[in-house]
Every structure is written in C-alpha cells, then in structure tokens.
Amino acid sequence: MITAALLAALSLVCVAAATALAPARWPRRGPSSGIVLWQAIGLAWGLAMVGAALAVAVAPYGRGLAFGLVALVRGDVPVALGPLRIVALAGGTALFGLLVSALLASLVQVGLARRRHRTLLALLADGHPGLPGTLVVDHPAAAAYCVPGVRARVVVSAGALRLLARDELQAVLAHERAHARERHDLVLLPFTSLRWIFPRSRIVRNAIDAVSLLVEMRADDRALSEQPRRLLATALLRFGASEPRATPSGTLGIAFPAVSQDPVVVRALRLIGPSPALPRHIQVITWGTAGALAALPLALALLPL
C-alpha cells in the first residue's frame, strides 16, 4: 500500500502544481519551459491516478505495482482479491481506458475537422502571387490561421489582407508557420482531451487557457527570428481591434478559440515591453522538474513496496 499512497500523494501534488502554475507569469518569459512543465504535470497526474488505483488492487502480492500487475496478468501468484481490490482494479483500468479513449477521440475529431476544412479550402481558397505557400479565403472578417498536419496550410482572409500592412502580414505569417513547424496542435491535444472527461473542471479549463497562451507566445517568439517585434505587436493589436473571427475547429491562429481577446492584448504588450528572458538556471530547473515528474510514477511503479 506504500506505492499506492505515494502515487496518490503525487496526483495531489500535480493538482496543486496545476492550480499554482495556471495564473503564474514567469512561464511567459520562457514559453517552451512552461509548456514542457505543463505536459509533465498532466502526464504525471494521469499515470499517478491510474497507478494508485492499480497499486491498491495488487497490494496483496507484496512486491510493488509492476510485479503485481505482471503476476495478476499471468496468474503466477494465487492471491484472492477482495471486493475493495476488485473495485480498485476496475477503477484503475477504467480510468486508463477513459484517458486513452478521450485522447484518441480528440485526435479523430480534430482529424475529421481538418479533413473537412481542407476540402472547403480546396473549393473556396486561392493562392496569392505575393504570398507563396499561403491560401487566401474571400471573407471580409480578419482571420489568419494554420491547418496543422503533414502538409500544413497557412490561411489568411481577404479581410486580413485589407487590415494589415504587408510587413505586418509577413509577421503574422511567420507566427502561423511557427505553429505548423512545431506542431503546437499536438501540444494542446492532451489538454483538450481532458476537457472531454472533465467538462466542468475549473482546473482543466485554466490549464487549457494557460497552455494555449504559452503556445501562442512560443509562436510569437519564433516569428521574431524573421520579423521585428514591433510589426507583430502592431498586427496583434489590429486583429484585436477588428474583433477577428474564431479560427475553424482543428486549426491554430491569431484568434485561437481557447484564448479570449484579452490574451491577444497581453501578447502584444509582451512584445512591446519584453521582460527579461527566463534565466538559464531556471530553465534547467524547470526542465529537470518536468523530467522528474514524468519519470516519478514509473519509478514508483517499479519499487517493491
């Protein structure tokens, strides 16, 4: 039962960490570090919750979670499981299945939405001679987004072309290309799948908002390697003032649906008056903490406790 207690405690630590990290401002100084830490918290929480339930179920084997599961599957050690153990085994298995199913369902839903949108783009969007690799949709509202995937597409609306100066538009396109290159859609997928399971959870909602904002800031930072920060900040403010449409399902863009208009202004202010970058030692500590969190449930599962 020691393993079960440790894993349960770890799950509570992850919930506390998520609660504290959601409103924190320091990850904005190093979005990559913040994103990795969020992913580790989510992974550690899921493994710890499942592991705690299964550890209760196999505790009579007396050799830890990993040994107990192997013995249970093989039937090598004849141990009678009481009602509590059976309920724990069923609960842990069900939770694992639910987490995996939600992730797969989110992946399928997003994939279908992208396929439909690609079909619409093939019918409605045109190339632009001055914007190679970019599709233009004839719509008056300002919109700019990428359709992620193996063959990613960057899309802008006619309204965005009218709204932005050419150099501002290039900054926005650099931002969208960063989304496509770094596959930020995959970063967000595990968190959106949790929303399927816990649709009314404030912690999950705050986590999605926080990670979404960090993803946008990461794309902003990548775009700065190609364009001046003033241009991207000006473009963001123009989009915010024009009340851009929400981007289509399964895409990433300036008006990302999980992020309200206020964070767009936050991003613009961050570009105009940048804070010092996250110190190197803080980055190392953050990445080390993330690695330890992700590995800890597996390490606890191997302990013969």
**Count of structural domains within the chain:** 2
pLDDT tens for the chain, 305 residues long, are 789 999 999 999 999 999 999 999 999 999 999 999 999 999 999 999 999 999 998 888 888 898 888 888 887 765 667 788 889 989 999 999 999 999 999 999 888 888 898 888 888 888 888 888 889 999 888 888 888 887 888 999 988 898 888 899 999 999 999 998 899 889 999 998 999 899 999 999 999 999 999 999 999 999 998 888 888 998 888 877 776 555 666 666 654 444 444 678 888 888 888 888 899 999 999 999 999 999 999 999 998 87
Tell me: do 268 and 120 sit in the same domain: yes
Q: Which residue carries 């993330």 as its tokens? A: 290
Quick check: is 105 in a domain?
no
Tell me: do 153 and 285 sit in the same domain: no
Domain span at residue 73 reads: 1-81+278-305
Tell me: do 77 and 187 sit in the same domain: no
Tell me: do 137 and 36 sit in the same domain: no
3-class SS string, the chain: CHHHHHHHHHHHHHHHHHHHHCCCCHHHHCHHHHHHHHHHHHHHHHHHHHHHHHHHHHHHHCCCHHHHHHHHHHCCCCCCCCHHHHHHHHHHHHHHHHHHHHHHHHHHHHHHHHHHHHHHHHHHEEEECCEEEEEEECCCCCCEEEECCCCCEEEEEHHHHHHCCHHHHHHHHHHHHHHHHHCHHHHHHHHHHHHHHCCCCHHHHHHHHHHHHHHHHHHHHHHCCCCCHHHHHHHHHHHHHCCCCCCCCCCEECCCCCCCHHHHHHHHHHHHCCCCCCCHHHHHHHHHHHHHHHHHHHHHHHCCC
Residue 153 has which token pair? 């597409």
Tell me: do 35 and 179 sit in the same domain: no
Q: How far apart are CA 206 and CA 214, in angstroms?
A: 12
Tell me: do 138 and 74 sit in the same domain: no
Tell me: do 20 and 159 sit in the same domain: no
Quick check: is 109 in a domain?
no
Quick check: is 76 in a domain?
yes
Widest Cα–Cα separation across the chain = 74
Q: 157 φ, ψ to 5°?
A: -95, 160
